[in-house]
Amino acid sequence: MTEAVARAISALRLNRAVLAIALIVLAILVALAITGDALAPMDPAQQSLRARLKPPGFEGRTGIHWLGTDAVGRDILSLIVAGARPALLVSGLAVALAGFIGVLVGMFAGFRGGRMVDLLLYITNIQLAFPFFLLAVTIVGIVRPSVSLVVFVIALGCWVPFARIAYSETMQIVEQEYIEAVHVMRGTTFRILLRHVLPNILPNIIVLATFALGTAIVMESGLSFVGLGVPTRTPTWGKMLSEGRDYMQTAWWLTVFPGFAIFLLVLSINVCGERLRDITDPKLMGR
Amino acid sequence: MSFKAIPATFLTLGLALASSTFLPSEALAQKTVARVALSGGLDRLDPIMSANGTDLVVMTQIYETLLKLDPKTGELKPHLAEAYRLKSPTVWEIKLRKGVKFHDGTPLTAADVKYTIERILNKDLASAHYSQLTTVSEVRVIDDYTVEIETKKPDPVLMRRMQPIGGSGRVFIVSKAYYEKHSPEELTNLPMGTGPYKLGKWEKGASLTLVKNDSYWGDAPDVDEGVFTFIPENSTRVNALLQNEVDVIQRLPIADVERVKKSSNAHVVASPNGLVHTLLLDSSKPPFNDLNVRKAFAHALDTEEMVEGLLGEYGRVLGVPMGPNVLQFDSSIKPYEHNPELSKKLLQGKTPIKLNTFTSDGRYVNDRDFYQVINEQLKQVGFEITPQTLEWGRFINMMQNRSGGPFYIIGWDFGEGDASKMNSFLQSSSALSVTQDPEYDRLVTMAGEETDEAKRTEIWKQVQKYVHDQYFVAAVWQASSLYGFSNKFDWVANFGENLALSEFKTVKQ
């Protein structure tokens, strides 16, 4: 008995430590995304063909390249710093858009029921059956990539869970007696959804959003990897990965560091998301 | 249990040793097989229809041309033709080699040559080589081994198009009887020519096997069998070589040269006569219809540093858009010098010049890096570039519609050694030309009709100077063609891009 308690306590401590680290990493990356290139040790766009493909720790004319240089001699550390903004901005906007549309559609369907539900399920099923990446590559391949297009495409890839959760939760809530009471008092649909349904489903949506953010970052990197990401002055993390692919055997630092940056960001977001879920889950209350 | 296993191991080991002692004699009887990894897949193996790079690698082993090039002098040498002469200013007479047989045993005759040329000129078929033979008006069979080709006007370079290198002609002689008997699909899938190798087995998408043609008219090659596989991914291709899965790889990336050199089982084969890369400016549209903007563009680039940095010893900067092996090459014209101050002055009041560009990635040696460096250097003098990477198939289609963007890189094989190749990207009538310049067209038409070799060279030198002064091409560099070879084989790569299985030599180890 005491042993189990001790294990639980140590697990809890470990969880806390992991959470703390995740929060710190996330805070740093968000700070980098806000400040942009300003915190980069060197100008990330500065090329130097004489210092191309140099390993971590190489001392160039502009200082020490702590994470080495890429194929045209840019500082990898500075590129990663500069890449935090597009990674977070694009995925953040995409999740916001997906959440907005998904919740709106889901709540409406849950409230109205009937035909609307069939339509919603029909559309989401089609979308889930269609490989997202194929869809994304087709759309971005036809239209010239831009920030808004990539945000739209990623949002298209992650709005379905929002709609489904919002739909099922709304359906349960509207059957409650207090909603009927509002009906009786002739409350408008808009008022019911905004004042009574939304606040009740919001915690779940926020938890979902954190996980969707992780997925969106991976999607953004994937699109960048195949050359369909947002056009930026310096390569995004996904683009760095694809550019470094040819040098994987001869210059590992081109792929390992940006890959690690993506991994770290997504992991931190997921750890935080998990904790958020635990907090909002009434079954786990008080832990 | 375990001590029972030990004798068994010894037994297996003994057997292995015993069998290995038989190996040398076995090897003598064994076929020499060269496994070649191509950088792309195969499409159509009909030499009349296809000009695709990987198709050509296979087709040049199966089919042959009338003439070939001497690697040392760059002069034309007999091949399927024994002799040729200019009978009158517009009539070429060609004598065919006797005793040449197609893979199906039928002899090569003058009728096959006539049929081949007429098939290329058949407009309904849309042959990939049609534009190269437009001067031909008639092909006449005189007897079984004599053909006459009549041209509409004097065409001194027609015979250069009868050799396989460089892609300005590639008139591979096909069998009339075979072509008349088979459907276009069959011809695409079952190539049959006079070459040192014939088609063994073609498993679409997986591999293609060529076997030695035992009744070949020329010298028997060292390699009995060639197995071609397709590995588009650069590092996978290199790994396949280093792990002995293949013996030869095409397009060895510069980044991996050191790895191959250091390995114990493979070496690098390089040919300086690789692709000539041209940075073409679309001078038919703004902003590059303005000579000063073209000039500013060219002087903004540090091509010397770029080529040194990205290609090292496997690249060279050129002053004119043609290979130094070209007979008319003018070495006195120097590349544009790096002078960003001059560029800024020329662009005063015009900046920023915004350009939406397209780039390729992986088509040419380090092309992505070249584009990145070029774009950054252009930014320094006031250009604003928004690049987008395109898949090559789509990109080349856009180039052929003259909508490939304001500037881009195309590589050209100048293996045939004649300046007229420049017309492919500078003459207004060519599909890939973004230059529409009447003066250039006038000069090269004059050169094309000049039969006196010395006078012709003189005109081509004038053309080169004109092209240089007009800044149609902002930068030119040549990259060596690099191959990775297993130490079991060696090859002297005379003509850059043209892999010749029959020239491989086996190396005793």
Q: What is the pLDDT of residues B211-235, one digit of tens each?
A: 999 999 999 999 999 999 999 888 8
A235 or A283, which is more confident: A235
Q: Is B101 helix (H, G, I), strand (E, B) or coil?
A: strand
**With contacts defined as CB-CB under 8 Å, which chain A residues touch B374?**
none
| B238–A249 CB contact, under 8 Å | yes
**Chain B residue with minimal CA distance to A233?**
B386
Q: What is the mean pLDDT of residues A257-272?
A: 94
Instruction: Report the CATH number of the B67-178 domain.
Output: 3.90.76.10
Å between A157 CA and nearest CA of chain B = 23
Tell which residue, B401, B405, B322, has the closest CA to residue B360: B405
Beta bridge partners of B35: B227
- Determine the CATH number of domain B8-60+196-271+482-506: 3.40.190.10
Using an 8 Å Cβ cutoff, are B414 and B421 in contact?
A: yes
User: Taking the model in full, what pTM does it have?
Assistant: 0.84
- Integer Cα distance of B313 and B214 in angstroms: 41
Cα distance from B400 to chain A (closest Cα, Å)? 19
Chain A contact probe: residue of B354, B355, B363, B368 with most A CBs at under 10 A: B368
List all residues 6 or more positions away from A212 whose beta carbon is below 8 Å from its beta carbon: A95, A98, A99, A158, A161, A162
pLDDT digits over A37-54, tens only? 888 999 999 999 989 999
Nearest residue of A to residue B362, measured between CA atoms = A246
Optimal mutation site among A230, A233, A250, interface B, most CBs of chain B within 10 A: A250
Residue B7 pLDDT greater than 70, yes or no = no
The shortest CB-CB distance from A49 to any of B256, B258, B305 is to B305
The DSSP line for B440-484 is HHHHHHHHHH---HHHHHHHHHHHHHHHHHHTSEEEEEEE-EEEE
A143: CATH: 1.10.3720.10
User: From residue B318, how far is each of B166, B308, B332 by CA, in Å?
Assistant: 18, 13, 11
A72 at the B interface (CB within 8 A)?
yes
CA nearest B235 in A: which residue? A246
The reply to whether residue A246 touches residue B238, judged by beta carbons under 8 angstroms, is no
Q: Over the stretch A122-150, which tens digit does the pLDDT of each residue have?
A: 888 888 888 888 888 888 878 878 899 99
What interface predicted TM-score (ipTM) does this complex get?
0.80
Which chain A residue has the Cα nearest residue B357? A144
Q: Which of B434, B433, B455, B437 is nearest to B446 (CA)?
A: B455
Task: State whether B372 and A72 contact (CB < 8 Å).
Answer: yes
B310 part of contact set with chain A, CB < 8 Å: yes
* Contact criterion met (CB < 8 Å) for B255 and A227: no
Cβ–Cβ pairs < 8 A, chains A and B: 48
* Strand ranges across the sheet with B146-151: B81-88, B91-96, B146-151, B136-143
Instruction: Give the closest of A144, A243, A246 to B253, CB-based.
Output: A246
What's the domain count of chain A? 1
Task: Report helix, strand or coil for B299.
Answer: helix
A45-97: per-residue pLDDT in tens?
Answer: 999 998 999 999 999 888 999 999 999 999 999 999 999 999 999 999 999 99
Residue A53 forms contact with B (CB below 8 Å) = yes
Among B389, B255, B354, B377, smallest CA distance to A236 is for B389
**Which domain does A105 fall in, by range?**
2-284
Q: Which fold has domain B276-479?
A: Dipeptide-binding Protein; domain 3 (3.10.105)
The string of DSSP letters for B58-92 reads HHHHH---SEEE-TTT--EEESSEEEEEEEETTEE
Average pLDDT (B285-297) is 95
CA distance A146 to chain B (A): 10
pLDDT tens-digit series, residues B430-477? 888 889 999 999 999 999 888 888 999 999 999 999 999 999 999 999
Q: Where along chain B do its domains lie?
A: 8-60+196-271+482-506, 67-178, 276-479
The answer to whether B376 contacts A227, with C-beta atoms less than 8 Å apart, is no
